[in-house]
Amino acid sequence: MAERDYRAVGPLPSSTRFLAGTSVEVAREIPRGPAPEHALFDFDGTLSLVREGWMDVMVPLLAGILSEYARPGETEEGIRALVKDFVTELTGKQTIYQMIRLAEEIRTRGGVPRDPRDYKAEYHERLMERIASRRKGLADGTLPREEALVPGSLEILGLLRDRGVHIYIASGTDEEYVLEEADLLGVDEFAPGRIYGAQADYASFSKEMVIRRILTENRVDGRRLVAFGDGYVEIADSKAVGGTAVAVASDESGRSGRPDAWKRERLLGAGADLVVPDYRDAEALVAYVWDGVEPDTAAGAAGTRPSGGPGRGGPGPGGRR
């Protein structure tokens, strides 16, 4: 089952509101019913920052490969812009899809591409060189886990576990590395036996498959599921089954507590119900989603604002990640 391509499900909400005194942005009111029993988290950018900066590795590599097949008049700048566009467009899907798109671009220029898996292997080798010091630091304790996690990750996972919520992690990164990095970050203990990642046979894995497995094996409908993610795939897949979707518009490089503007718009377009920059307001977020309880309005006015405004933390970082 191939992963869906990005498409907006409708116009962005004309106005949103914030839970009082928090950075939790409510874009669509959640229909109240049975409390959710299952929570699905994306990994990179949603919990883990180990691979922060991956695009700075992928885009130059793919642009360099594609430039060998440049059409007459095609500039390096134009090729780089094209590559950045399709890499960004496919963010949230398994890495192999970006390599498949590279192969397609080579064919349109009359070239004969290598197997997309070869491009993926080359990219991964370069990425691993970039993040080797982070992984080593986590392993030997010289890098505190908190510095490689989206702020508040351990807190929200703990809150959900304490409520008896079943936690799952699903990632477009190869499963063996997701398992390794989840262990290094200490998040694996919250989802024992429930961590999933990309497979060599990419058609055998998708986040949609994980969601349907959760619902089928537990004999529940989508109202019992909440998905957290910074990619459109898990947002769209959750909404497709009637679940609640929390967009994590994380500022990966700055950890500023402000939403990344491009992520926010993209995830709202995919149907997200709420937007958070991270989990610093985990207690308020969980109380609202699970109990329908909002912070005391005396703590700060939630109000409404035109969609796209700053929220508590001021304007989010501009541009695409």
Antiparallel, parallel or unpaired: β 15-18 and 304-306 = antiparallel
Reported in sequence order, the residue ranges of the chain that DSSP labels E, i.e. its strands, are 15-18, 25-26, 38-41, 166-174, 195-198, 225-229, 244-248, 274-276, 304-306
**For each of the chain's 321 residues, which pLDDT tens digit applies?**
456 665 666 677 778 999 999 999 999 999 888 899 999 999 999 999 999 999 999 999 999 999 999 999 999 999 999 999 899 888 878 899 999 999 999 999 999 999 999 999 999 999 999 999 999 999 999 999 999 999 999 999 999 999 999 999 999 899 999 999 999 999 999 999 999 998 888 888 888 899 999 999 999 999 999 999 998 889 999 999 999 999 999 999 999 999 999 899 989 999 999 999 999 999 999 999 999 999 986 444 444 444 444 444 443 444 433
Residue 3 pLDDT: 63
Q: What is the DSSP letter of 50?
A: T
Q: What is the DSSP letter of 249?
A: -
Q: Where do the domains of the chain lie?
A: 15-49+149-306, 54-140
Given this structure, which CATH class describes domain 15-49+149-306?
A: alpha beta
Give residue-wise pLDDT tens across range 64-92: 999 999 999 999 999 999 999 899 888 87
Dihedral of CA 202/41/147/251: which sign?
positive
Q: What is the DSSP letter of 231?
A: S
